[in-house]
Homo-oligomer: A and B are copies of this chain.
Amino acid sequence: MSATPRTPRPAAQEHDAPMLLAPHRLLPADPAARRVAWDLYEAVREAPIYSPHGHVDPALLLENARFTDPSALLVTPDHYVTRLLHAHGVPLDRLGLGGAEATPGGSREIWRLLCAHWHQLAGTTVRYWLTDQLAGLFGVRVTPSEETADAVYDQVAAALDSDAFRPRALFERFRIRVLATTDDPADSLAAHRALRDDPAFAGAVIPTFRPDRYLDPGRPGWRPALADLAAAADEDCGTYRGLLAALRRRRGYFAESGATATDTGVPDAAAEPLPAEQAERIHRDALAGPVPPADADAYRRDLVFRLAEMSCDDGLVMQLHPGVVRNHHRPTFERYGPDTGHDLPAPASFTGPLRPLLDAFGTHPALHLVLFTVDETAFAREIAPLAGFYPSVYAGAPWWFLDTPSAMARYRSAVTDAAGFAKTSGFVDDTRAFCSIPTRHDTARRADAAYLAGLVTTHQLDEAEATRIVVELVRDVPVRAFKLASGRAGRRGAA
């Protein structure tokens, strides 16, 4: 530290002013590049949102109830937020997890914990998102801190009390054109159907078929899941053949209810067919008792293969995301359940594991296979090369731990040279935090504008084509990859 104390100068004001959102945030600092990036961003900043992959509960929009309080909206249900506070030593029960009785101070106390750790979250995308929501959506103008926590809380709470902040009003304000949820195959989709039939709601909210519960015959929940599915599909799931029939039938029901896609999370990307009798044998064994891990793996890999086969038949887009170790910390899982912030990435590979699936279906005209990864090394090494050969393969957007400004920049750098823009999926917000949807899409639009500006200023694209691309990235690209022009999404005006 220098001998003479420095007094920081008020550079441009905008970024020194507390919680004022700088219009140029995330865009390049260089004036020429910023000008180009700004123009590109302007072309899409107000564009409608296509959200083909997320975790919002459709009941939220069906019921259209007011959000109860700031913490219940922005902290407790968002494991992106709670995990970071936990990393700084805040026990999850103090954040409202594991039952309300655990947080005697209630919502306000949770909010104070968030604000007290605000500085420690500096640089994280979670804080960027929260800032964008607090300042952009709720008009907060003071930086959260222990001192300002109550004032911020009150301001947000007051807003939530108004009708303008009910879910449907926000859905309109956010300009959401299509919102896909994530649903179990046994789900009745009652909320979706009620929403579709509600004349007061014009939005397109569509389900996504997520069969993860049926993939691992080694998990305790597998047998109960089969029972649910058998009831929902009116098929006997006592055989593997029955399970496949039930899945097929429910896919049909999902498609009829507006779904255009499935989504599957797997420990690895392997997909390989088993002889039918072998799959049946493992299914039978698993109904009778525990199966060895090798059997469970073989079973899952066959089932992933069969899901691709079904996609060729019914045209539902197949999303696949391997490489996450779920519920890494057993004590936290046992106390708080799943989706509590300790699903953690591991190395992932695609080229080898997907070979049997792509041999069989890689050039099938009905298949769209969107590959997501949390191991970004796979983007340049495998996903872009695969998307640059197989007509069925789309390079999924940077996702989960990678849906951050810098990871988005690395993604475009890794993927574009080999696969361009037209074989990518478009951004997916993957969120259960409703108010973060426009924030996340805005982040992606800024990141893409910044990337494209780099191509323009280095003369790899001209501005006219870059403008065309930035617009396509928020509309044509997801509409094509996720087939949103077809079915219910299309009828609601997605195309």
User: So how many copies of this chain end up in the complex?
Assistant: 3
Q: Which of B44, B418, B467 contacts A404 (CB 8 A)?
A: B418
Q: What chain B residues lie within 8 Å of A457 (beta carbons)?
A: 29
Q: Given the complex, which residues of B lie within 8 Å of A465, measured CB to CB?
A: 119, 122
Given A15-B456, A391-B86, A124:B417 Cβ within 8 A? yes
- Structural contact, B462 and A16, CB atoms closer than 8 A: yes
Chain B residues closer than 8 Å to A27, beta-carbon distance? 458
Q: Is A179 interfacial (CB-CB < 8 Å)? A: no
Q: Is the CB of A346 within 8 A of B382?
A: yes
Per the 8 Å Cβ criterion, residues 316-356 of A in contact with B are 325, 328-332, 341-342, 344-347, 349, 351-352, 355
Sorted nearest first, the 8 A-B pairs with minimum C-beta distance are A22-B459, A1-B8, A29-B457, A404-B417, A25-B459, A120-B422, A123-B416, A124-B420
Q: Would you give 26 A-B contacts (Cβ < 8 Å), ordered by A? A: A1-B7, A1-B44, A1-B47, A2-B9, A3-B9, A6-B39, A11-B456, A11-B463, A14-B459, A16-B462, A24-B458, A29-B33, A29-B458, A83-B389, A87-B391, A123-B417, A124-B417, A329-B390, A344-B386, A346-B381, A346-B382, A347-B381, A374-B381, A375-B381, A384-B401, A401-B418
Asked if A28 lies at the interface with its beta carbon under 8 angstroms from chain B, I say yes
A469: interface (CB < 8 Å): yes
Given the complex of chains A and B, what is the CA–CA distance between A362 and B83 in angstroms?
13
- Complex Cα distance, B25 from A405, in Å, reads 25
The answer to whether B355 and A351 touch across the interface, beta carbons within 8 angstroms, is no
How many angstroms between the C-alpha atoms of A390 and B328 in the bound complex?
10
Question: Which residues of the partner chain B approach A188 to less than 8 Å between Cβ atoms?
Answer: none
Q: Which stretch in A51-59, A101-109, A154-162, A406-414 binds the other chain? A: A406-414
Residue-by-residue, is A267-303 near B (CB-CB < 8 Å gives 1, otherwise 0)? Answer: 0000000000000000000000000000000000000
Are A418 and B325 also in contact (CB < 8 A) when A381-B374, A462-B15 are?
A: no
> How far apart sit A464 and B14, CA to CA, in the bound complex (Å)?
13
CB-CB contacts below 8 Å: A350-386 with B: 351-352, 355, 358-359, 362-363, 365, 374-377, 380-382, 384-386
Q: Which residues of B contact A351 (CB under 8 A)?
A: 325, 328, 344-346
A347–B464 alpha-carbon span in the complex (Å): 38
B352 touches A325 (CB 8 A): yes
* Cα-based distance from A222 to B331 in the complex (angstroms): 36
Are A1 and B402 neighbours in the complex by a CB distance under 8 Å? Answer: no
Q: How far does the alpha carbon of A384 sit from the alpha carbon of B125 in the complex, in Å?
A: 13
User: From A16, which residue of chain B is reached at the shortest CB distance?
Assistant: B462
Chain B residue with the shortest CB-CB distance to A376 = B380
Cβ-based interface call for A197 (8 A): no
Q: A46-B1, A362-B329, A381-B376 are in contact. Are A421 and B123 (CB under 8 A)?
A: yes
- Asked if A229 is an interface residue, CB under 8 A from chain B, the answer is no
